Structure 1
Amino acid sequence: MMEGGGVVDHIARNGIQVAYGASGRVVDNEVTGHAYTGGEDTGSGILVVGGSFYGVGRALCLGLIIQGNEVTGNDVGINLAQGEGAGFNAPSEPTRIQVLDNVLRNGALTNRSVYQAGIYDSGTGNLISRNRVSGDGYDPAAHPGEAFAVDVKTVGAERQVAFATPARAVDVGTCSEALVVQGRDVAGNLAPLVDPKVELSASVGGASFHLRSDCSDAAVASVDLAGAQREAVFYVRAAASGVLTVTATGDGESTTQDLTVR
């Protein structure tokens, strides 16, 4: 466990920091108590920094995997704070950091800046999915404009639908692993759709879509993107072997993914 001492006013501590071109995995850690009340700063549980905003020649961190961590009581749970230029612009190249299946909690709003977030992402093209964010300190309904569950810097107003999970393989008649769809902006950043409803279709007859992991529920034809990450999880059962193409359509935009049925 990495313990930051709780709420303090004399130093903005950070827990795990990955910086200036470093690569690797931040997996299965417990990080708690990095919280600051002394001024215009925040403490982060897991912090990623890079880019020319921090100085000439400061490299971006690319392709990190941040997964399965329990991150509690921090001003910002996971802070992807990479930027370029004096204006802290979003990185010009995709950084493709994966933030997956983390648990983030904060029970109170304590930062005086005032800013708290379960996940902050200054982009570009990072994958944020299936993280569980909870607590009053990350609740935008309780603290509008001060607390955020997931806060992503987006680009433009155009939106697209994307799969957040890789292509799957499944046996005939069984339930697939989870498939996840999200809304994204044109740069691949997590972004809400105007209409959260996403229609699902299959290229082969006899396939069905389900919301339960054992496919024991009634089949569905659409899912709603919900929660802090504006995503939906569903499962597929196919009746025949071969390649099954799943199409997801939302806001007039479609994306596809092939499912190999054995």
Structure 2
Amino acid sequence: MVGIQRRVAIVTGGSRGIGRAAAERLAHDGQAVVIAYAGNDVEAKAAVEAIQARGGSAIAVKADVADEAAVAHLFDTAETTYGGVDVVVNAAGVMVLSPVAEIALDALDRMHRTNIRGTFVVNQQAARRVRDGGAVINFSTSVTRLALPTYAAYAASKAAVEAISLVLAKELRGRDITVNAVAPGPTATALFLDGKDEATIERMAKMNPLERLGTPADIAEVVSFLAGPARWINGQTLYANGGAA
């Protein structure tokens, strides 16, 4: 009897925050996971060991998502180690907050390099290599809808992610590959919490009717849904924000 082929997921930004929660959830779902990380070897090792301690299979690969050679190597490693790629979760991202009148343009360029070019490079390899029946999951933000002050540059970069996702979903016609974006609201990660005082955090937690911040596990649940059973959701942006309007 031939066994069912195990699905294989690449998770960029998978060593911390939402990316790590997504990697751990996909491993819990039975997928082999390749964690791509930018530079912190200690965090990447800890993420892999956490998955392995629960009986899952994972490796870590250092890769700059905006570097096409590094991303090609990432996919090569996934294919060599596990035989292919079925799911790509592109959670790597950079966020710098500043009013439009004051933002340093090098910070704008840095965000666009990771958030736009990085998404494009990862999705380019995904379009070439993800096996039929797979899923590509990119990360946007609810701020594209909430339009909060100081978020213009970040929201602009994530609006581009949504455009890439929708177009790629149509370009992969006939292959049974879904492409969607997840748009978290305020979520209790280091990326969100850094630089915010308690009053700001409390105010943002009250923006949704559930009156709390999201958790990485909340967002990982959406990723798990899109990576597996959600075969009829395609070319969409899912707002995972507790109902913030």
TM-score range with shorter-chain normalisation? under 0.3
Ranked by relative contact order (alpha carbons within 8 Å, sequence separation 6 or more), the top structure is 2
Query: How does the TM-score come out when normalised to structure 2?
Result: 0.26
Larger Rg: 1
Query: How does the TM-score come out when normalised to structure 1?
Result: 0.25
Q: Normalized per residue, which structure has more strand?
A: 1
